[in-house]
Every structure is written in structure tokens, then in C-alpha cells.
């Protein structure tokens, strides 16, 4: 628990690390807008190429970014199939008659159970998922035994394939961009950047400096509280509690038995912390100087220009196209 | 002018039971005072009153000649710093550097000056190599040292230690005590709140609280001659005094050991 990493920040020394967090935040937003303006696959592929170039120039390992994409893999897959199956524009490329009947339903269930069981081993999860999808497809397509409940046709259109590739690449670019930002910016710097960018919101009553302090204190206490949870779990386990077994009802009971002491301790902690902060002359809402200083340098200026050029390019493409 | 002047202070949380009754206490510049007491004797409440976290029901507290009132509180707090018991619950920053800076940020110290002071005081407490470290990677003793650096950086004249060593291992505890001694040598007024007699031996003057009232207040050497008073306040005697009381007064050899032990407790 000592070396827990909050956020995805990985120390490094590429030029992206030396940019002002504000530049990075705004750049990500502008680039996302620019990507949404693009309309053809070729444009997107070029944009994707630029993102890869950015990774290489910023000395960020592509493997790390790919790891950042992993949790969103299911989303990507879903978008892909959704587009392929439900986009009915353009010429029809493939048409398959699928049927649903007791035989393939039963086999399908069996296959699903098998898949879940195998997935428990935790290896080849992705391959297993694809095998399951392929298996279900084969069952629906080739096991056509009476009595047929229903039949439906699976159609794949030209536009469907195009759109699915299009949407997936777009998502990939957007996720990669935000991953690049979180990989190269410390959570504290990110909060600082957000705080500075939120300054103008003071007009509508949002205090950005209090907000930043809340975030930085939360970040600071996450490892402490996790440590505490572990201690309480160990204390309860030593008195016979078993966190890994039991039905849903027992699980809920166990979670509550963990949460109650956690909350009590957290409240006590926050009270003591408030005392400590107050005794060190903290007054909420009062102006404070900052040890962290954000500096907008020439690197940021160059980056801003490049980013704006990207936006201009995609607007031009949109107008011409 | 005395550094701390407490006059007729009474305090209660709910109004019924008095936590502190008629406290009168004067501490001079550069003194090292141990405030001793059993659990529930009101010693921690007294500490919170001194830094203005609580307001007395009646009576007055003056720090460096200025009365503590809601108006003067923020000015006076600059002169007085407090290190609490739990090292984790007073570490505000995400790194050592940020935590030392926290108090100075609140005082609107310019950034360049802050950086200089952080370097200077971190070096003083032996944390200058660990400025970038996160609190979860530090030991309890290191966190307490960071807390001290943060307070020193605010140019405090008085430092209160509210059971600050009770959650530390023996080694870090000794280190911290030795460190507090150097602060004392530099002229900082030290108030040490504790129930541990061994720790209290470092002080010049002992104030014993019992059930919210001052039970004894005297120089260490004088008070140690009356061990029964500590027992009445339900405090454990220092090990050396316990051994001493078991030795014979007549036997020549044992008398020499007695004298040595006395020397030991009074000279610390």
C-alpha cells in the first residue's frame, strides 16, 4: 500500500512533461473538437498518425498508452459492432439469415457458461471473448433445427463498415489524447491547472482555490485511508470475518462492518486535520500565496500555435469537404 | 513581559461539567514547561485554548502580551505553533515540500522566500533530501519533523507539543526529544503536553493537572522531591525515581546509587 499510484502519472522527461498543465488541458479540449470536425477515414487516419508522432516525440511508451486504453476495450468493441450491425446505409455487402431455436439457445447458454468459467482463470480474456462472439454467431447461423421460434437477417452494409472503423478510430484518438495528458501531468499539477482555468467562474460563485485544496487533500488521504481499510479488514479477519466467501447478503453485511469504522475514523481524522490546518493559520476563502507556480513559457506558446493550426486545418477540411 | 499569561480560565464543552477550572499560568520566554496529567485531566483542552481552537468560557489568555480575542487571533497564531499527536492527521500537503509550505502560504509569504525557508528548515530537521516524498512513504517520526519544520518556517516563538511523541517508536521518539532540546536552546518557548514522566524530565518546570485544575506547578527539581504528589495525580513516576525509592537510605553503596539516580533525573 506504500507505493500506490494515484492517477496514471508516470515520471519522465519528454517535452510534454515540461508543458504548463493549463496548456495541456486546453490543448486536449481543442484537439477533441478538431477530431470531431473531421469527416473522412483518411483524415482520421492522418490524425491518428499525428497522435503516434506526438507519442514518439514526447518519449512516451506506446505500450503504456495502450494499457490506458484497455479498460475501454469493451466500449470500443461495442461501438464497432453497433455500427456494423445497425447502420443500413450504402450498398448491401453481406446478408445472412440467422435463426433462434431451442437447440441453439441451449447450446448458446452452455457456451456462455463455459466462457465465464474459462474467463475465471484470468488468462486470454480477450481471445475468449472473441471466441464466444464467434461461437454464438456460428450457432445462430448454422444450427437451424425446427421448431424455429424466429428468424432474422443480419445485414452488413458498406457504410456500416466505414462508420464502424471511423467511430473506433475517433474514439481511439480521443482516449489516447486524454491518456497522454494524465500520463505526463501530476495530479497536483492538473488540479492547479484546473484551478487557474476555473478562476473566471468566481463570478458565478464557484471558489476555484477551495476546490483545488479539496482535491489535493483528497489525493493526499487516499493512500492513508486505503491503509486504514486494510488494517480494519485484517483486524476483522483475525476475529474470524471472511471477506471472500458468503452470499450477497453476507457480503453486504461485511462491507457495512468495514464502512462503519472507516467513516467514524474518517470523521475523526477530518476534525483533527481541520484543527491542524486552522492552527497553521488557514482561513477558508482567504487569499494565499502558492508554492507551486505555473509558468507559461515559449514551449507552451509553440504548442498553442500548433494546436490552433490543427483546429484551423480541420475547420478548413470541414468547409471544403 | 511573559510569553503566555493565562488568567482564571474556565472551560466546558456542554456547560455542565467543567473541563478546566480557574487555570492561572504564566510562562516566560524560553522556558520549557511540561504539562502533565492523567487522561481526561484537561491538558489537551488547555493546548487547544492556547492556539485559539477553543474559546474559554471565562478568563483571559494573553500571548506575548496580546490578549487572545477573535480579532487578534489570526495575528497571535503566528507566534504559536502546535504539533499534534497523530502524525498522519496534520500532514496537509501532498509532499514534504507542500506541507512545509502550507503555513507560509496561509501567511501570504512570497514564493521565493518560501522556497528559501523550506530549504533552510527542511535541512534543520534533516528532511532536505526528502522534499519530494509523499506522506505515505514517510515514517511517523519523519512526519512529525515535517510538522515542526512547517511551524518553524512561520517564525513561531512558542511551540506546543500535544502528546507529539506518543505514536512514535522509541528511536524516533528519542530523536524528536533531542530535536526539541535544540529548539529550546535557540530560545523557543516549549510547552510539552504529556502523560509520560520520562518525557517530562526534559523540561525545566512541571505543571500537573488533575481533574481540570492545576494540582502542582513548580521547578522540576523541587517537584521531583515530592513523588507522592505525582501518585495522587495518577501519574507514573520515572523509572529512575521508582528504583531510587526502593533503595535503602542508610547503606553506603545504595546511597551512592541513589545520588547517581537523582543526578540523572534532575540533570536531563
Q: Is B79 on the interface with A (CB under 8 A)?
A: no
Report yes or no on A194 lying in a domain. Answer: no
Which chain A residue has the Cα nearest residue B112?
A: A291
Go through chain B and tell me how many residues it has.
Answer: 268
Mean pLDDT of chain A: 84
Query: Are B162 and B83 in contact, with CB atoms under 8 Å apart?
Result: yes
Nearest to B106 among A1, A269, A281 (CB): A281
Strand partners, B211: none
| pLDDT in the model for residue B268 | 66
Per residue in B23-66, pLDDT tens?
A: 999 999 999 999 999 888 889 999 999 999 999 999 999 999 89
Q: Do A2 and B137 count as a contact with CB atoms less than 8 A apart?
A: yes
Query: Are A208 and A199 in contact, with CB atoms under 8 Å apart?
Result: yes
Q: Are residues A102 and A156 in the same domain?
A: yes
Query: Are A11 and A64 in contact, with CB atoms under 8 Å apart?
Result: no
Q: Are residues A85 and A110 in the same domain?
A: no
Query: Are B154 and B103 in contact, with CB atoms under 8 Å apart?
Result: yes
- Its sign, for the CA torsion A313, A17, A65, A212, is negative
Q: Are residues A223 and A277 in the same domain?
A: yes
pLDDT band at residue A87 using 50, 70 and 90 as cut-offs = confident
Residue B194 DSSP symbol: E
Report yes or no on A300 lying in a domain. Answer: yes
Q: Are residues A150 and A172 in the same domain?
A: no
**DSSP 3-state assignment of B210?**
strand
CA distance between the termini of chain B = 27
Cα separation, A310 vs A314, whole angstroms:
6
The structural domain count of chain A equals 3
Report yes or no on A198 lying in a domain. Answer: no
The residue with cell 522531591 is B225
The residue with cell 467543567 is B18
Closest-CA distance of chain B to residue A54, Å: 29
Cα separation, A75 vs A65, whole angstroms:
16
| Cα separations in angstroms, B130 against A240, B83, B101 | 40, 20, 14
Cα separation, B90 vs A221, whole angstroms:
11
Report yes or no on A192 lying in a domain. Answer: no
Q: What percent of chain A has pLDDT over 70?
A: 96
Query: Are B73 and B21 in contact, with CB atoms under 8 Å apart?
Result: no
Nearest to A279 among B82, B88, B136 (CB): B82
pLDDT band at residue A7 using 50, 70 and 90 as cut-offs = low
CA-wise closest residue to B50 among B17, B86, B26, B18: B26
Residue B17 has pLDDT above 70, yes or no: yes
- Complex-level ipTM: 0.89
CB atoms within 10 A of CB A142: 10
Q: Are residues A171 and A61 in the same domain?
A: yes
Q: Are residues A10 and A46 in the same domain?
A: yes
Q: Are residues A97 and A82 in the same domain?
A: no
Per residue in A124-168, pLDDT tens?
A: 777 888 888 889 888 888 887 777 788 878 888 888 888 899 999
**DSSP 3-state assignment of B47?**
helix
Averaged pLDDT for residues A77-98: 83
Closest-CA distance of chain B to residue A135, Å: 49
Test mutation, A191, A215, A274, A279, chain B, max B CBs within 10 A: A279
Test mutation, A215, A281, A295, chain B, max B CBs within 10 A: A281
Cell numbers describing residue A70: 484497455
Closest-CA distance of chain B to residue A213, Å: 9
B59: left (phi over 0), alpha (psi -120 to 50) or beta: left
Write the DSSP string, B61-87.
EEETTEE--TTTHHHHGGGEEEE-S-S
Residue B35 DSSP symbol: E
pLDDT band at residue A318 using 50, 70 and 90 as cut-offs = confident
CA count, 13 A, side-chain hemisphere, A159: 6
Query: Are B134 and B92 in contact, with CB atoms under 8 Å apart?
Result: no
Cα separation, B27 vs B40, whole angstroms:
23
CA distance between the termini of chain A = 54
Pairing mode, if any, of strands A92-100 and A150-157? antiparallel
Report yes or no on A195 lying in a domain. Answer: no
Query: Are A88 and A198 in contact, with CB atoms under 8 Å apart?
Result: no
Query: Are B189 and B231 in contact, with CB atoms under 8 Å apart?
Result: no
The CATH code for residues B4-237 is 3.40.50.300
Residue A5 has pLDDT above 60, yes or no: no
Cα separation, A99 vs B133, whole angstroms:
62
Q: Are residues A264 and A232 in the same domain?
A: yes
Report yes or no on A226 lying in a domain. Answer: yes
Burial A81-105 (b: 16+ CB within 10 A, else e): eebbeebeeeeeeeeeebbbbeebe
Q: What percent of chain A has pLDDT over 90?
A: 16
Residue A47 buriedness (CB in 10 A; 0-12 / 13-18 / 19+)? buried
| pLDDT in the model for residue B36 | 93
Q: Are residues A321 and A175 in the same domain?
A: yes
Report yes or no on A7 lying in a domain. Answer: yes
Q: Are residues A167 and A85 in the same domain?
A: yes
Per residue in A243-255, pLDDT tens?
A: 776 677 888 888 8
Per residue in B170-202, pLDDT tens?
A: 999 998 999 999 999 999 999 999 988 888 999
Q: Are residues A128 and A34 in the same domain?
A: no
Segments making up each domain of chain B, as ranges:
4-237
Q: Do A289 and B104 count as a contact with CB atoms less than 8 A apart?
A: yes
CA count, 13 A, side-chain hemisphere, A171: 19
Q: Is B97 on the interface with A (CB under 8 A)?
A: yes
| pLDDT in the model for residue B109 | 92
**DSSP 3-state assignment of B177?**
helix
| pLDDT in the model for residue A141 | 82
**DSSP 3-state assignment of A167?**
helix
Q: Are residues A63 and A103 in the same domain?
A: no
| pLDDT in the model for residue A2 | 40
Residue A1 has pLDDT above 80, yes or no: no
A152 lies in which domain range? 92-161
Measured between beta carbons, the chain A residues lying within 8 angstroms of B103 are 280-281
Amino acid at each position: 500500500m506504500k507505493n500506490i499510484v494515484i492517477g496514471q502519472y508516470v515520471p519522465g522527461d519528454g517535452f510534454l512533461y515540461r508543458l504548463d498543465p493549463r496548456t495541456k488541458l486546453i490543448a486536449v479540449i481543442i484537439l477533441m473538437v478538431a477530431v470531431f470536425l473531421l469527416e473522412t477515414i483518411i483524415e482520421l487516419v492522418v490524425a491518428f498518425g499525428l497522435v503516434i508522432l506526438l507519442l514518439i516525440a514526447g518519449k512516451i511508451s506506446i505500450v503504456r498508452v495502450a494499457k490506458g486504453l484497455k479498460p475501454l476495450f469493451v466500449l470500443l468493441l461495442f461501438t464497432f459492432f453497433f455500427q456494423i450491425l445497425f447502420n443500413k446505409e450504402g450498398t448491401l455487402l453481406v446478408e445472412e439469415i440467422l435463426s433462434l431455436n431451442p437447440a441453439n439457445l441451449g447450446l448458446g447458454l452452455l457456451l456462455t457458461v463455459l466462457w465465464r468459467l474459462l474467463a475465471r482463470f484470468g488468462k486470454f480474456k480477450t481471445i475468449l471473448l472473441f471466441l464466444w462472439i464467434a461461437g454464438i454467431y456460428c450457432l445462430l447461423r448454422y444450427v437451424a433445427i425446427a421448431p424455429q421460434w424466429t428468424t432474422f437477417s443480419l445485414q452488413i452494409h458498406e457504410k456500416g463498415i466505414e462508420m464502424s472503423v471511423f467511430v473506433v478510430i475517433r474514439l481511439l484518438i480521443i482516449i489516447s489524447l486524454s491518456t497522454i495528458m494524465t500520463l505526463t501531468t501530476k495530479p497536483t499539477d492538473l488540479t492547479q491547472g484546473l484551478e487557474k482555468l476555473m478562476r473566471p467562474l468566481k463570478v458565478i460563485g464557484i471558489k476555484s482555490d477551495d476546490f483545488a485544496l479539496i482535491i489535493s487533500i483528497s489525493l493526499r488521504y487516499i493512500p492513508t485511508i486505503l491503509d486504514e481499510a486494510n488494517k480494519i479488514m485484517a483486524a476483522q479477519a483475525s476475529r474470524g470475518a471472511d471477506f471472500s466467501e458468503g452470499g450477497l447478503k453476507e457480503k453486504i453485511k461485511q462491507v457495512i462492518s468495514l464502512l462503519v469504522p472507516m467513516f467514524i475514523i474518517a470523521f475523526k481524522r477530518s476534525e483533527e486535520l481541520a484543527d491542524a490546518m486552522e492552527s497553521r493559520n488557514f482561513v477558508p476563502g482567504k487569499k494565499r500565496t502558492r508554492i507551486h507556480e505555473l509558468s507559461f513559457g515559449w514551449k507552451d506558446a509553440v504548442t498553442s500555435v500548433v494546436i490552433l493550426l490543427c483546429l484551423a486545418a480541420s475547420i478548413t477540411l470541414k468547409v471544403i469537404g | 513581559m511573559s510569553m503566555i499569561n493565562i488568567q482564571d480560565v474556565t472551560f466546558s464543552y456542554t456547560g455542565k461539567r467543567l473541563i478546566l477550572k480557574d487555570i492561572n499560568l504564566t510562562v516566560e520566554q524560553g522556558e520549557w514547561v511540561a504539562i502533565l496529567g492523567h487522561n481526561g485531566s484537561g491538558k489537551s483542552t488547555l493546548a487547544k485554548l492556547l492556539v485559539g481552537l477553543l474559546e474559554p468560557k471565562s478568563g483571559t489568555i494573553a500571548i506575548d502580551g496580546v490578549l487572545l480575542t477573535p480579532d487578534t487571533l489570526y495575528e497571535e497564531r503566528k507566534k504559536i505553533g502546535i504539533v499534534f499527536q497523530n502524525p498522519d492527521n496534520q500532514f496537509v500537503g501532498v509532499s514534504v515540500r507542500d506541507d512545509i509550505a502550507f503555513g507560509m502560504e496561509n501567511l501570504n509569504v512570497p514564493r521565493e522566500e518560501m522556497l528559501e525557508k523550506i530549504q533552510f528548515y527542511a535541512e534543520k530537521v534533516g528532511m532536505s533530501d526528502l522534499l519530494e516524498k509523499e506522506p505515505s512513504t514517510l515514517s511517523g517520526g519523519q512526519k512529525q519533523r515535517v510538522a515542526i519544520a512547517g511551524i518553524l518556517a512561520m517564525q513561531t516563538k512558542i511551540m506546543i507539543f500535544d502528546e507529539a511523541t506518543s505514536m512514535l517508536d522509541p528511536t524516533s521518539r528519542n530523536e524528536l526529544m533531542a530535536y526539541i532540546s535544540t529548539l529550546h536552546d535557540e530560545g523557543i518557548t516549549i510547552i510539552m503536553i504529556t502523560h509520560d514522566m520520562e518525557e517530562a524530565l526534559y523540561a525545566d518546570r512541571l505543571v500537573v493537572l488533575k481533574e481540570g485544575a492545576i494540582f502542582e506547578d513548580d521547578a522540576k527539581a523541587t517537584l521531583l522531591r515530592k513523588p507522592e504528589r505525582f501518585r495522587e495525580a495518577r501519574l507514573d513516576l520515572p523509572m529512575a525515581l521508582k528504583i531510587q525509592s526502593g533503595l535503602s537510605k542508610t547503606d553506603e553503596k545504595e546511597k551512592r546509587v541513589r545520588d547517581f539516580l537523582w543526578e540523572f533525573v534532575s540533570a536531563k
